Amino acid sequence: MSSHYVIGDDGEIYHMLNDYFRAWHGGIGKWGNTNDLNSASIGIELDNDGKEEFSIAQINSLIKLLKELKEKYKIPQANFIGHSDIAPTRKVDPHAGFPWKILAEEGFGHWYDEERVRELQLEKDSLPTVASDSTDLQNQALEANSENRKNLVPKNFDPVMALRIIGYDVSDPVAAKKAFKLHFIKEEETSSELTDFDLKVLYNLYQKYL
């Protein structure tokens, strides 16, 4: 069997294989330090042609199933991932329309803190300084800079290392960046270049995994 469960467009759940048996849904892939995902995961396939919108009934059934599996097997929130996450050089499913944010709000996978990301700046943007002989003014400037640094993505932030910490296989950094953008930036057929916004999102997510 290629997966343990299949969920139809109408929300019908089909249990194809005992959860304890090995399925073949993942194929060759890696997440974190795990190379054999087929032996260490439960595969769920959604009836979708790779472009069409996921139905409300389908997503509701998926959430119901995930709740049951999470409780039964004590699955950590971070361990709910997609095929494109574990095999970024081969797989592009689920597509960018998949509601990862909704799932994260239910406790399945992580999502970035949108308000926190809006507050973040890249350290390449200069910090305000005060040139003065006054000790009080200098101290105020230092305090302001210290507070500002909490909202900074540091210059030495390594996006590839951050992707590795999250769980991505970074042996092909270009593919890993594309997989990240498909999942979190919601872009199909995207380039691997990380924009300032992408870096802020990645930095926020990376901090969740430390």
Q: Are 17 and 1 in contact (CB under 8 A)?
A: yes
71 belongs to the catalytic site: no
CA torsion 62→55→12→22, rounded to 10°?
-50
Nearest to 182 by CA among 92, 105, 79: 92
Q: How far apart are CA 80 and CA 70, in angstroms?
A: 9
DSSP tag of 181: I
Q: Are 188 and 182 in contact (CB under 8 A)?
A: yes
Q: Are 44 and 65 in contact (CB under 8 A)?
A: yes
CA torsion 122→205→165→198, rounded to 10°?
-50
Strand-pair category, 152-153 with 121-122: parallel
Q: How far apart are CA 19 and CA 27, in angstroms?
A: 17
The catalytic residue among 12, 45, 68, 105 is 45
Q: Which are the catalytic amino acids?
A: 45
